Amino acid sequence: MRALTTLLLLIFGLCLTTRAQAEDHPSLGSKQCQTCHQAIYEHEKASRHWLSFKEFAKGAGEAIATKAGVAKPTEAGTRCVECHGHTYLNDKGKSKVEPTSCEACHGKAGDYLTPHNVKYDAAKNGADPAAFLAKRRADSVAAGMTAQWRLNGGYRNCFNCHVGTDEPIVNGAGHPVMKEFELLAFSQGTTRHWHGEAMKQDGSGRQGAIHVAGQALTMQKALAAVGLSKDAGAYRTGYFAMAKAAGARLGELAALLPDRTELKAVIDAAAPLATLTGDDAGKCADLAKTLDPLVVTLLDKLDDTPLADDVGAKLIPANMPAK
Ligand code: HEC
Ligand code: HEC
Ligand code: HEC
Ligand code: HEC
């Protein structure tokens, strides 16, 4: 059945566009990853991402779901499981829901498992294991894997769930405004799977870069959220305050990074934020659109020209809690 589905998708995909350009890939579920990544799988089962699925629809969550008109919040197709769960197709081609897991962050695996599942073999792959790894990653990303290690890849992806744009569930149903997300704090703890030497906290240069990227993304995404709002209310007020705070923090960071012209470009373009209010939803939407490509450039530069550890160390907020 999966082979048939894949074939149909392939034919359909070829009619519309080439396979490589097709946006969506079949999702297989985390059991597929467990086969080879058992330790990470066990770790994930104890993470907030996993546990949330079992808890979010009870108590206060049940009341939110009822007010939002969602009768079965843990089932496929509801708004809730877009963030609190993960929908995949099982062997029989049926939609199933599991907790927020591997593919939510690493990408839907239906097309990348094959290029991903190749092991280095000096006889076949040449004498350069690093080049082999880079190619394996590039081929996997081309087939739908998220470049989790890139700021403009996996780190940017966090914001799809952590800065939500569903105004009715906030204003009408009482869902919290998702305004606590701080990329550095949230990415240095459990999210890294706490697995193996290489998965310890990042060095201070990288941490500084993640903090800068997080503030820029927060400002841009929160403005886009305000831009989509229709009403005054907790959603608009919350996200506008979030955009303002991130903009102010970004100004402080720019003063410590005078050589980073891509950061200055973001700050200059964000100048109108000083005089806007949350009620200027249209203008917030326009500003978010202007900022989007500039933020992407900033993220790419931070990845490609890393910050030195002594520079990064000055950017990290004091008492940063690693969640
Ligand atoms: C058949 C075995 C196999 C399966 C199945 C598998 N992986 Fe991997 N994966 C590997 C190997 C081998 C590595 C390389 C480990 C190393 O370099 O030490 C790896 C590395 C990775 C990396 C690090 C980046 C990279 O490409 O080196 C990520 C992220 C990853 N896997 C995610 C996943 C996810 C998500 C799934 C499920 C959709 C999955 N893997 C399924 C074998 C597998
Ligand atoms: C856009 C993504 C998104 C959607 C859609 C979403 N949530 Fe959430 N939800 C979150 C995030 C992220 C949090 C964590 C709190 C925060 O960031 O402030 C959260 C927190 C919660 C909480 C607070 C308690 C807890 O588990 O920490 C409840 C209850 C909840 N959500 C229920 C729901 C219900 C019910 C729905 C569907 C009507 C829903 N959510 C839809 C992302 C989402
Ligand atoms: C909340 C997002 C998230 C989820 C869910 C998630 N990962 Fe990851 N994963 C990350 C991040 C972040 C990194 C570190 C990326 C970096 O900076 O190099 C990572 C790194 C990895 C790596 C490479 C490093 C290593 O430890 O070998 C593998 C393999 C991996 N994840 C597999 C998995 C598997 C399997 C699952 C599901 C059981 C999973 N991940 C679930 C975010 C996630
Ligand atoms: C598919 C949606 C989704 C994605 C993608 C996602 N998250 Fe989450 N995350 C959630 C939800 C929902 C919660 C709330 C869980 C709960 O009820 O407490 C959460 C909670 C967390 C928590 C626990 C916070 C706490 O208070 O203990 C951390 C840390 C976190 N996310 C980090 C990340 C990072 C870093 C990324 C990107 C690498 C990411 N998440 C990507 C949906 C997502």
User: What is the chain's pLDDT, residue by residue, as a tens digit (323 residues)?
Assistant: 444 444 444 444 333 333 333 468 999 999 999 999 998 999 899 899 999 999 999 999 999 999 999 999 999 999 999 999 999 999 898 999 999 999 999 999 999 999 998 888 888 888 898 999 999 999 999 999 999 999 999 999 999 999 988 999 999 999 999 888 999 999 988 888 865 555 667 889 999 999 999 999 999 999 999 999 999 999 999 999 999 999 999 999 999 999 999 999 999 999 999 999 999 999 999 999 999 999 999 999 999 999 999 999 999 998 777 77
Question: Residue 87: nearest ligand to its CA?
Answer: 4
Q: Is the CB of 84 under 6 A from ligand 4?
A: yes
Question: Residue 148: nearest ligand to its CA?
Answer: 3
Q: Which residue has the tokens 């030195």?
A: 308
Phi, psi of 246 (to 5 degrees): -65, -40
Pocket test for ligand 3, best of 30, 49, 106 (most atoms within 8 A of CB): 106
Q: Atom 24 (ligand 2): residue with closest C-alpha?
A: 56
- Give 48 Cα–ligand 4 centroid separation in angstroms: 7
Q: How far is CA 70 from the centre of its chain?
A: 25
Q: Could you give the CA distance from residue 323 to residue 313 in angstroms, rounded to a whole number?
A: 19
Q: Atom 15 (ligand 1): residue with closest C-alpha?
A: 119
Question: Which of 105, 110, 87, 98 is CA-nearest to residue 45?
Answer: 98
Q: Could you give the CA distance from residue 155 to residue 116 in angstroms, rounded to a whole number?
A: 20
Residues with CB under 6 A from ligand 3: 30, 33, 37, 40-41, 44, 49, 101-102, 104-106, 148-149, 154, 187, 191-193, 195-196, 199
Task: Classify burial at 76, counting beta carbons within 10 Å of its beta carbon; exposed 0-12, middle 13-18, buried 19 or more.
Answer: middle
Contacts (Cβ under 8 Å, ≥6 apart) of 310:
204
